[in-house]
Chain A
């Protein structure tokens, strides 16, 4: 039986992520865990994340999970969600902290000046709701999901990869920004697949079948 660990470092709604994976992969053993050994033993790892980046980095380190997450991102199917995407990168404007620096790039905030829609009205931050994800490349995790499908977002910061080759999906909100990245065994998304109805469940199902 395939085991997947949803990494619990005290931030966010992990239950929803675990339940969504159970829903699409009833045969898998889904564990919510803050045990480094369990993360190391899992076949697949999901790192969700909600809340402020500095808190997330502090909790991850405080629970002794930093190393386990870095190792998982190096060697097994790895799905990052929201802050779980942002922490893969370097400098985060939120709290002026460094991420895990697994992928090159930074995490800025939506620039106030660009937050205008076509009709001149103010775009609200957080970027909250359903927006389109343009698939920058074919990827097993996009399989069966139409290009420009809407997913559910809630965030005020976004990733800016230094290497455009990392970009797997992009979204427009005042500015175009990277909403999904992929490299080898890593796939990470800014939106919440566990809250994105059928499209999100489909992506999670693809992740559970993915053998990079």
Chain B
């Protein structure tokens, strides 16, 4: 049986790992390659780098980080942030990324998802959806790191990116991100049930029960977390053992 995946996420700013709380206050948590390697050793199933570098001068730093990572870390690596063109996708894949995640650019130009998927294969294309609840049972897509409401229904957008050729959806609840209150399970489940491609749940993990809930109640194929791993509260291995003890299939 296919294992549910646990994916530590590293927010990278100009080459250093940071973690935003509600995307505002940032704390430095170290060297991305070193941390990725540590997570690999702990049994992480994949690593995600989210490049939050604002300055365009520093944009290429992520390529060097990806190259260095690919030499030492032999699990799948997803990279997102600042991807605007098919060429950006190709450069990241050539540097050693396995999947590239796009968010704002996909909303602004859905054709990018189709073009990138046709060029490099849908298995390499992840569409990140930042969603916020706007009324009971309804979520809308936000862009620009959660600051702008795109005015699109999140479930409809998930179906649309699947149709365009996305191979996976990285779903973040903007209501929960940074709160440590757990995933928005209703949102996760609504999206996971709406599409035939894998869904990664993200946003709000504060403890191991939250990770398990994302899979059991949220029906996510994978769960992503940052701070609970970065600050040594739990290791990836502890998270997997916890999930295994609750009857969830994991790789140990």
Residues on A close to B: CB < 8 A? 11-13, 15-16, 19-20, 23, 50-52, 117-118, 121-132, 150, 152-156, 172-173, 192, 194-197, 200-201
Contacts and interface: CB of A to CB of B under 8 A. Distances in A.
A51 B124 CA distance: 8
B251 A130 contact: yes
A129 B123 contact: no
12 contacts: A16-B98, A23-B74, A121-B219, A124-B198, A124-B199, A125-B197, A129-B2, A129-B198, A131-B1, A132-B1, A195-B75, A195-B76
B74 A131 contact: no
Contact of B1 (A20, A23, A124, A172): A172
B227 to A, nearest CB: 24
Main secondary structure on B side of the interface with A:
loop
Interface stretch (B89-97, B107-115, B130-138): B89-97
Contact of A194 (B74, B120, B168): B74
Contact of B251 (A19, A117, A126, A150): A150
Given A122-B196, A124-B196, A15 B121 contact: no
B65 interface: no
Nearest to A195: B76
A-B pairs, 9 with minimum CB distance: A51-B121, A130-B251, A130-B3, A124-B198, A150-B251, A154-B123, A15-B96, A131-B2, A195-B76
B71 interface: yes
Interface of B: 1-5, 40, 43, 45, 67, 70-71, 74-76, 93-98, 120-124, 167-168, 193, 195-199, 219, 221-222, 251
A192 to B, nearest CB: 8
A126 B2 CA distance: 12
B196 A52 contact: no
A52 B119 CA distance: 9
B45 A130 contact: yes
A99 B142 CA distance: 43
B1 A126 contact: no
Given A124-B196, A172-B1, A197 B74 contact: yes
Given A12-B93, A128-B167, A195-B75, 13 more contacts: A15-B94, A15-B95, A15-B96, A51-B123, A51-B124, A126-B123, A126-B198, A128-B123, A150-B3, A152-B76, A154-B76, A154-B167, A200-B74
